[in-house]
Amino acid sequence: MKKPIKYTNEPLGRVSVVEDFLPPPGDLVFHEDTEKVTITLSKRSVDFFKREARLHGTQYQRMIRALLDRYSQAHARSEKGK
């Protein structure tokens, strides 16, 4: 059990108001152009992503998209150096 917090009425010292530094909610939405495709994957791969998505509280399609995005970014950079 945690020790209870004991509050006292002591001076806090020098206090200043901090301006709101958080962006508005609209700026937090990540927009990226997407394109719908149809792809056939192995049952083993889909089952893996579904299982991992459940464990991490996300969507399996989002995980697959992130994997493909990282793969293509990594190889696009390596192609530029050739």
| Domain positions in the chain | 40-80
- pLDDT, one tens digit for every residue, the chain (82 residues): 788 888 888 888 888 888 887 878 777 777 788 999 999 999 999 999 999 999 999 999 999 999 999 999 888 876 655 5
The CATH-assigned architecture of domain 40-80 is Orthogonal Bundle (1.10)
CA distances from 70 to 43, 48, 76, 77 (A): 22, 18, 10, 11
Contact between residue 41 and residue 48 where contact means Cβ atoms under 8 Å apart = no
Helix-, strand-, coil-residue percentages of the chain, each rounded to 5: 50, 0, 50
Which helix (H) or strand (E) is 48 found in, with range?
Answer: helix 43-56
3-state secondary structure of 25: helix
